Structure 1
Amino acid sequence: MQLSGLDWLLIIGFFVISLGVGVLVYFKGQKNVDSYFLSGKNMPWWLLGVSMVATTFAADTPGLVAGIVRNDGVFGNWVWWSFLLTGMLTVFFYAKLWRKSDITTDLEFYELRYSGKSAAFLRGFRALYLGVFFNIVIMAGVCLAAIKIGHVMFGFSALQTLLVSSLITVVYSLLGGLKGVLITDFIQFFIAMVGSIWASIYIINLPEIGGLDALINNQAVQPKMPFFPDFTNPKVYVPVLLVPLAVQWWSVWYPGAEPGGGGYIAQRMLAAKNKKHAVGATLFFTIAHYALRPWPWIIIGLASIVIYPTTASLQEAFPSLDNHFIKDDLAYPAMLSFLPSGLLGIVVTSLIAAFMSTISTHLNWGSSYVVNDFYARFVNPKASEKQKVRLGRISTVIMMLFAALLSLFLEEAKEAFDLLLQIGAGTGLLFILRWFWYRINPYSEITAMLVSFLIAVVFFINAKLEAPWFELASHYQLVVGVVITTTCWVLVSLFTRPTDANTLQKFEEKVFETGKKFDFLKQKILAFFSGVVGVYAILFGTGYLIYQKPTYSIFCFLIALICALIILKLWKKLT
């Protein structure tokens, strides 16, 4: 692929802007840990919400969605659409609580909610487990997407891509802290949306595709178009719909879709001006993430079936790319190779923006754990603010290096997605209940983490063996992990001593109003279901509009409007 001078001008311009933002906020970001990791806890809902959306628009997400569409069809996206329920649960039940906790990282929650040395150990262990290990796995999946995009767009080798993309991202992450990340996220979100929508419009009008009518009437594409799987075939609907909706959404910890909130989503809520801004930011993110963004990726995935019907055709198109990278998620960047000068520059810039947004957030979030919840808590409690910020920058560089190295051993975005799901399987219900069920204690959380991780390791090793010990479909592996892990941590909760009563009382006084733990429960449940139904209605209404079924589309949008009115009526009570 040949990039024109205009394309390069757009790409370089974006790099200059990103680095410029980092430089501008450098001195403010260096002030103290609160300003470096939480931007002074004074951010508005719209900036935080857009940042959440930009972060989850990772470089690997379009490829993941396109690969799912090619393999399973549009309905295959229920494996992540189901997390909408998790998101709405966070909006109406937990966002307000997180902001009222007034902590710096979500890991401080452990010593706010639990007592004793076990609470301290849990905080330190989670800092390294999530902030370093788990975070590196997430970033490695994003780096894998960058490798494929870099080869298709620039002809770069894997090492060249990682060197260029990682260096620029690390530099502006080091300079600006969270505020730099938030501002660049805002810019990156609009570039990414414009690029993906414009690219999808151009691609479906290619002569090889023949326009939207030809695409949706193509015999190879039509079987992939339904929103729901064939309900007469359990081998199809059980893994892609039943398990995600019945089990996965409440039982699995996944970055950006943590049951009860957590990770970088919690970091954004904690950085909000107040609890209303925390709730508003999370609601905006949930709507935009599930209803506004997926269709351009889905359309390009469907179009790729026409031009690259098999992975063999992708291999023929890119013979110099290592064979283990030739998977269905490569179809997304492959389709972008048809774009003209100018538009190509915008789209490449949008993918670079997506990569930088996700990686910078994970670097800042992960280093906040290393500094605040491990180093300052256990290694050097008397560390100065400058020492903490300096260590945050050092840990940023180290994590980026390990993520880039790990990405060389991955093959496909879906592989990383499934691995993360399995590692978090069975922990989700604990994160939902720990705010309310007094029996949950640090040993519950430690048990959940260790058991889910060991099960994931067993399944991962088994899948890589030439002669596997056993055969079990991935969705059943998830269910097995959920059942065993949940059973283990519930039993531990029942047979170990609960948290000290004074600690529990102080926790509840801080995050709940006295005697009002379950206030407005009916309204919250109504808002939750209205939000879920409304967002799905927007998602499918947009799909029916693309599929040229206006009656169904109008019906869906009317449902979405009713749901929105219900939420507006309840808004003041819930925030």
Structure 2
Amino acid sequence: MVVLSTLDYILIGFFFLITLLIGILVSKKSGKNSSEFFLSGKNMPWWLLGLSMVATTFSTDTPNLVTDIVRQNGVSGNWVWWAFLLTGLLTVFVYAKLWRKSNVNTDIEFYELRYGGKPARFLRGFRSIYLGVVFNVLAMAGVTLAAIKIGQVMLGLEPWQIIVSAGLITVVFSAFGGFRGVVYTDFLLFFVAMIGAIAAAFYIVSLPEIGGLDNLLTHKNVINKTSFIPDFSDTNSFITILIIPLAVQWWSSWYPGAEPGGGGYIAQRMLAAKNQNHAIGATFFFNIMYFALRPWPWIIVALASLVVYPDLASIKADFPNISNDKLGHDLAYSAMLTKLPSGLLGLVLASLVAAYMSTISTHLNWGASYVVNDFYKQKIAPNASEKKLVLVGRVTTVVLMVLSSLLALQLTDAMQLFSLFLMFGAGTGLLFLLRWFWWRINAWSEISAMVSSGIISITLNQTIVDHYLFDINSGLFPVWAKYPLIVLLTTIVWITVTYCTKPESDKVLYDFYAKIQPGGKGWKSIVTKASSNSIQLVKEKEGANLPQGILAMILGCFVIYGCLFTTGFWIYGEYKNAFCATLGVFIFAVLLLKVWRKINKNVF
């Protein structure tokens, strides 16, 4: 536990005050109607939305998760989330344009645009609660758990004290400021969080126990943890850490903030953009900042923690008050921060508070938007006034905060939720990608994918079944086969259901195509059918321009992964590799720019 100085308290207090003032100042405009409260009038610029996306995904649990990964699987273990760059860039170059053209208020509203009848209405209502409340509460509980651990390790606070102090301020400015308040505070929160993370990494590397960057990278506990690629000789780890994320996970799994085809709070920000160009610019800017610039301060601190705290016993020895149910490798990040000096400690604590508030405020507004727009307004009070909708949104914000706080007290570590999200979303991602480009997908396809993914995940993770099928010594399948098997079985289920149920009506399909103009061979039969009935659906020659969009995605991956690993080479002192990687990034960036200009002129 550390003792905060007067300067530390001033820095933290000043930060709290500014965020509260922002929420109060914009509350009047945000409360005008539900569009303002949840989308800020759909008039936000790309750079502000991009920074908001990054700030939202900063979170207090993210450095803890990265630390957990690095300590157990090395730097290469981060491929479990680095692989989601492919999802992100596919959203940038293909789906951002489609989302903005849909002009819906939430991505859940999309269901009644793409599908029709009672199944579409059920899907919209059910998913609004399933994602807006259940999954959203789980996600916020993980963030709050991280805040609890930081508060316990660094300040010796009880969990309820952390929840009341940080949570109360967050829920107040979220309820009053709405989406506009969230985005405006995110602008401040991003810079505070980034400066704090970088400053902490610099100071920790210079500690006597570490002895500088060169000593850190050659230390016996660290030297085998720095590779970008997992060990080829360890087949199970190589397949689990690298092959499955790149070959299967990125397109097959639903994960908050990395939904295949865009969705959730990423879609919320695309829908809040001034136009489709700003939606594209925001998501591309987000992916650069998120993957290329943000991870290294956390990775450095995680590597340093292996020197100071080589195992869980050493963490427990220094922090005996930590309960055993909260003891995990993710605690090492907070433990290292206790070594910061006065002033810097206050800044870093403020940055962690910023990360917490940014993520929670986004989830609160996003979840409330589902409850209000897609459940309350559709199922309970279709004629509710705008004033009433805003009130329900504010009440929902408070309720979501309370539920997530109670759940956080029951959780143990960040990897629990990460694994849960991946398993429960396994197999659904392909459907989210194809529903824009294949007319045959219907509402029952999505319902069956959602239900089967959950049932199959729970079944294969049952102790007896898990032991029989995936035991490392006697199982029928290797351990790494569990996730692909869930994906395969779920995909078989929803494709079978698709062909065994009636397609959507011609009117629903015609209306969707006429509005979105997705293009592609998956809609050819519908376009031909409409044309034979003297209905002209095609209005844009290029449609979504899928081939060039995929090419831009591939080039973008080379650019951003190149930036990520170039930074690593410079940090590692591998200057020849760093120079070559820098040159490669420049070449691919030029190629990407040429393709991008063909896809969408005058992006900014």
TM class by shorter chain equals: over 0.9
Match of 2:578 among 526, 550, 553: 553
What is the rounded CA distance, in whole Å, between the counterparts of 1:13 and 1:378 in structure 2? 43
Q: Secondary structure at the match of 1:244?
A: helix
Verify the 8 A CA contact 1:229 1:241 in the aligned structure 2: yes
Query: Is 1:504 the equivalent of 2:509?
Result: yes
Unaligned runs of 5+ in 2: 473-478, 518-537
Query: Is 1:184 the equivalent of 2:185?
Result: yes
What is the rounded CA distance, in whole Å, between the counterparts of 1:519 and 1:45 in structure 2? 20
Identical columns (%): 55
> 1:147-296 maps to which residues of 2 (within 5 A)?
147-296=148-297
Verify the 8 A CA contact 2:182 2:358 in the aligned structure 1: yes
Match of 2:499 among 494, 497, 501: 494
Query: Is 1:544 the equivalent of 2:544?
Result: no
> What's 2:485 paired with?
480
> What's 1:75 paired with?
76
- CA spacing shift, 1:460–1:181, aligned 2, 3 Å: farther
Verify the 8 A CA contact 1:239 1:475 in the aligned structure 2: yes
1:451-499 CA deviation, whole Å, 9 max, x = no partner? 1112333355539x9x967645774332221111111011111111111
1:430-464 CA deviation, whole Å, 9 max, x = no partner? 0000001111111111111111112333355539x
- Counterpart of 2:516, as a letter, is V
Verify the 8 A CA contact 1:178 1:364 in the aligned structure 2: yes
Q: Secondary structure at the match of 2:357?
A: helix
What is the rounded CA distance, in whole Å, between the counterparts of 1:431 and 1:455 in structure 2? 19
> RMSD across aligned C-alpha pairs, in angstroms?
1.5
Verify the 8 A CA contact 1:148 1:333 in the aligned structure 2: yes
Q: Secondary structure at the match of 1:255?
A: coil
What is the rounded CA distance, in whole Å, between the counterparts of 1:359 and 1:515 in structure 2? 40
> What's 1:442 paired with?
443
1:252-289 CA deviation, whole Å, 9 max, x = no partner? 00011000000000000000000000000000011111
What is the rounded CA distance, in whole Å, between the counterparts of 1:2 and 1:224 in structure 2? 33
The alpha-carbon deviation at position 321 of structure 1 amounts to 1.2
Verify the 8 A CA contact 1:462 1:470 in the aligned structure 2: no
1:320-375 CA deviation, whole Å, 9 max, x = no partner? 11111110000001000000011111100000000100010000000000000000
> What's 2:550 paired with?
525
The alpha-carbon deviation at position 162 of structure 1 amounts to 1.4
Q: Secondary structure at the match of 1:435?
A: coil
1:124-155 CA deviation, whole Å, 9 max, x = no partner? 00000000001011111111101101112221
- TM-score, length basis structure 2: 0.93
1:521-547 CA deviation, whole Å, 9 max, x = no partner? 332222111101111100000000000
> 1:300-319 maps to which residues of 2 (within 5 A)?
300-319=301-320
Q: Secondary structure at the match of 1:95?
A: helix
What is the rounded CA distance, in whole Å, between the counterparts of 1:150 and 1:458 in structure 2? 36
Query: Is 1:90 the equivalent of 2:91?
Result: yes
Unaligned runs of 5+ in 1: none
Q: Secondary structure at the match of 1:128?
A: helix
What is the rounded CA distance, in whole Å, between the counterparts of 2:109 and 2:597 in structure 1? 29
**Higher mean C-alpha deviation, range 87-96 or range 159-168:** 159-168
- Counterpart of 1:242, as a letter, is I
> What's 1:119 paired with?
120
> 1:319-334 maps to which residues of 2 (within 5 A)?
319-334=320-335
> What's 1:379 paired with?
380
Matched residue count: 573
> What's 2:350 paired with?
349
> What's 2:361 paired with?
360
Match of 2:595 among 566, 570, 574: 570
What is the rounded CA distance, in whole Å, between the counterparts of 2:234 and 2:596 in structure 1? 42
> What's 1:394 paired with?
395
What is the rounded CA distance, in whole Å, between the counterparts of 2:437 and 2:550 in structure 1? 16
- CA spacing shift, 1:469–1:19, aligned 2, 3 Å: farther
Verify the 8 A CA contact 2:76 2:227 in the aligned structure 1: yes
What is the rounded CA distance, in whole Å, between the counterparts of 1:8 and 1:63 in structure 2? 24
> What's 2:533 paired with?
none
The alpha-carbon deviation at position 4 of structure 1 amounts to 0.6
1:504-528 CA deviation, whole Å, 9 max, x = no partner? 1111111126264655333222211
> What's 1:33 paired with?
34
The alpha-carbon deviation at position 502 of structure 1 amounts to 1.4
- Counterpart of 1:136, as a letter, is V
**Higher mean C-alpha deviation, range 452-461 or range 81-90:** 452-461
- Counterpart of 2:387, as a letter, is K
Q: Secondary structure at the match of 1:432?
A: helix
Q: Secondary structure at the match of 1:223?
A: coil
What is the rounded CA distance, in whole Å, between the counterparts of 2:284 and 2:565 in structure 1? 19
Q: Secondary structure at the match of 1:328?
A: coil
1:268-314 CA deviation, whole Å, 9 max, x = no partner? 00000000000000000111111100000000000000000000111
Q: Secondary structure at the match of 1:499?
A: coil
Verify the 8 A CA contact 1:259 1:428 in the aligned structure 2: yes
The alpha-carbon deviation at position 238 of structure 1 amounts to 0.8
What is the rounded CA distance, in whole Å, between the counterparts of 1:522 and 1:430 in structure 2? 19
The alpha-carbon deviation at position 233 of structure 1 amounts to 2.0
Verify the 8 A CA contact 2:85 2:287 in the aligned structure 1: yes
Verify the 8 A CA contact 2:98 2:544 in the aligned structure 1: no
What is the rounded CA distance, in whole Å, between the counterparts of 2:424 and 2:394 in structure 1? 28
> What's 1:53 paired with?
54
- CA spacing shift, 1:403–1:517, aligned 2, 3 Å: farther
1:50-90 CA deviation, whole Å, 9 max, x = no partner? 00000010100001001100000000000000001000110
What is the rounded CA distance, in whole Å, between the counterparts of 1:149 and 1:461 in structure 2? 32
The alpha-carbon deviation at position 571 of structure 1 amounts to 2.8
Verify the 8 A CA contact 1:508 1:514 in the aligned structure 2: no
- Counterpart of 2:436, as a letter, is W
1:144-193 CA deviation, whole Å, 9 max, x = no partner? 10110111222111121112121111000001000000011010000111
What is the rounded CA distance, in whole Å, between the counterparts of 2:460 and 2:141 in structure 1? 20
What is the rounded CA distance, in whole Å, between the counterparts of 1:482 and 1:535 in structure 2? 27
The alpha-carbon deviation at position 570 of structure 1 amounts to 2.7
